[in-house]
Structure 1
Amino acid sequence: MVKISISTPKHFYFDYFFQLHFMQFLIFHSLSDLLQLYLSTPFMAIYTSQKLFIKKKFKIKVIFFAKIEKI
Structure 2
Amino acid sequence: MYNQHHKGKLLELAHYKMPFGKYKGRYLVDLPIAYLVWFRQKGYPPGKLGEHMQTMLDVKSDGLEPLIRKLQKEFPL
Higher RCO, 1 vs 2 (CA within 8 Å, ≥6 residues apart): 1
More helix per residue: 2
